[in-house]
Amino acid sequence: MSIRVRFAPSPTGYLHLGGARTALFNWLFAKRKGGTFILRIEDTDKVRSTDEAVLAIIRGLEWLGMNWDEGPKITIDQHKVVIEEVGKHKPYFQMKRLELYRKYAEKLIEDGKAYRCYCLPEELEEMRKKASQEKRPPKYDGRCRSLIGGDENRYIDEGRKPVVRFKTPQEGVTEFEDIVRGKVSFQNNLLDDFVMLKSSGSPIYNFAVVVDDHEMEISHVIRGDDHISNTPRQILLYEALGWKKPQFAHVPMILGSDGSRLSKRHGATSLEYYENEGYLPEAMVNYLALLGWATEDSQQIFDIEELKEKFSLERCAKSAAIFDLQKLLWMNGEYIRKMKPDELTTEALPFIIKENLVQGDTDEEVRQWVENVLTEAISLEQEKIKLLKDIPYLISYMLKEDLENEDYEEEVKEKVLKVSGVKQILSDCRDRLVKLEDFSEEKIEKEVRSYAKESDKKTGKVFHPIRVAVSGRTRGPGLFALLSFLGKEKVLKRIDYTIKNFL
RNA sequence: GGCGCCAUCGUCUAGUCUGGUUUAGGACGCUGCCCUCUCAAGGCAGAGAUCACGGGUUCAAAUCCCGUUGGCGCUACCA
């Protein structure tokens, strides 16, 4: 039997971290087993579902590099976004499948396994209120289970629109073997006759999933463990319809720092936010994979291929995981450090553009500049970059032609420059640097070091003022690489500027 | 309230099924030292877990059994 899994978000907002992690586990499982990964949109909540959310979900999955074999895909046609459905079980939007749910609901009614219920919302509310007063569980009492023709006709004449309820067996136990949790069982008499079809004709989650998972030949249902309590209802439906059940795997949820369900209160939860901050999709995938899954040796860094190879549901944790931004940040730094300079530059470019740091008038000029200047500047700072977003600030002084007063950090002027002897050091070094024909890292280092030695100064005493004079900051790349990168002209200009204005 | 799921350093987790090899291992974060022109990175060291609690079983329990507590979830014409 072929492996088919699905990610089935409801498009009520951006792609959530928890959703992304669930999608990832499904995708990895499919990849590992050579199976099919399907995207299905559960948009039966008409009020909260939006097209933008569908787009955000699709974009998020694409950003992370998870490709799906069946489901809606986005294509751009003459600058217009077009959603095209791909796969043998289309459509993949539940609102386009209403006929199907109605058909199976009808079948269950005919088989005497479901019935129409004409109770009004107010009546149900009343029922629940009474139940809670009498300290009984708020369970629908099944009063419409065996409506006789006359009563039913009366309701219809009143204009009531019925819902369809499932006739939940009131005896026995429903159990299933969960791949991550083992055996889970529920007493049937605790379940009530839940609604399958709303009076509007659209299905309720528990019914729609079953119909779609069956129709789409889903072999493994991998989802958050908030669905564990829904599973018996779904199993009862599979049995009533005479369908083969899929295997279930309930993976632990992702929680916020205080241990409660991850929400805006805990900071950003949308994948898009992390993209905009300059996290790399590879780092995100790696981090998310480790939330609820680990190998025996607790390996931390996995590339995608390795993940596809090693992932297994059996090794998933059972307990919920708290999202830890610190660790994600560390991991992002790890991935940034591993990148080739030109790759990193490509990723950084949108952030550079956003800060208006791009130089060059024609495309060709820009290309040259990126290749000759930008890439070099970024790689000087590569080892300390944690977020792509931080790059513009880190290298801004390297890209500017001239530094101005505000480019020099205030406290730095006081602490480093306005120290006795600094003026002498800077002008001495200037005199030596000006004579250098070859402004290479090695030559500069040799020259500056020998100055320090000859004038009997500690290297730091000499290096530090130069760094500040040339960058306006106390932190930065190795000094000689930096000087060489800037070039003789800029270095001399900046030293002169510093001497003239701050000393 | 009822039912279900879960419970190892602050956090992610390994170890639990198949009890002894564990003075409970790794990673993030934290502290210190080394390297060093700064910041990082790297190296080394350290603090940090009465394995939620209480009972049992056993020569031996983080590991098996029972109970308790806590967290989360479901209990909607939300998904």
Terminal alpha carbon distance of chain A:
79
Give the model's confidence band at A252: pLDDT under 50 very low, under 70 low, under 90 confident, else very high. Answer: very high
Does the active-site annotation cover A80? no
B71 C1' closest Cα residue: A259
pLDDT at residue A146 greater than cutoff 80: yes
Largest CA distance in chain A: 111
**What CA–CA distances, in Å, run from A426 to A32, A149, A468?**
61, 101, 11
pLDDT at position A37: 98
pLDDT at position A152: 86
CA of A255 to C1' of B58 (A): 39
Question: Which nucleotides of strand B lie under 7 Å from a protein CB?
Answer: 1-8, 10-15, 25-29, 36-42, 71-79
Asked if A118 and A162 touch (Cβ cutoff 8 Å), the reply is yes
**CA gap A222, A247 in Å, rounded:** 8
B15 C1' closest Cα residue: A296
B1 C1' closest Cα residue: A135
Q: Which nucleotide's C1' atom has the smallest distance to the CA of A287?
A: B12
**CA gap A290, A62 in Å, rounded:** 20
CA of A166 to C1' of B76 (A): 15
Task: List the one residue out of A124, A125, A192 whose CA is nearest residue A162.
Answer: A124
Give the model's confidence band at A224: pLDDT under 50 very low, under 70 low, under 90 confident, else very high. Answer: very high
Phi-psi region of A341 (alpha: psi -120 to 50; beta: other; left: phi over 0): alpha
pLDDT tens per residue across span A68-103: 999 999 988 888 889 999 999 999 999 999 999 999
Q: Which nucleotide's C1' atom has the smallest distance to the CA of A261?
A: B72
pLDDT at position A229: 95
pLDDT at residue A429 greater than cutoff 90: yes
pLDDT at position A259: 85
Contacts of A229 (CB under 8 A, 6+ apart): A186
pLDDT at residue A365 greater than cutoff 90: yes
Asked if A487 and A415 touch (Cβ cutoff 8 Å), the reply is no
pLDDT at residue A137 greater than cutoff 90: no
CA of A144 to C1' of B68 (A): 42
Give the model's confidence band at A1: pLDDT under 50 very low, under 70 low, under 90 confident, else very high. Answer: confident
Mean pLDDT score of chain A:
95
Residue A185: its H or E element: strand A182-187
pLDDT at position A219: 98
Q: Which of A258-272, A314-328, A351-365, A460-474 has the lowest mean pLDDT?
A: A258-272
pLDDT at position A135: 81
Mean pLDDT of A246-257: 95
Point out the catalytic residue in the list A244, A264, A435, A500: A264
CA of A319 to C1' of B16 (A): 14
Asked if A382 and A341 touch (Cβ cutoff 8 Å), the reply is yes
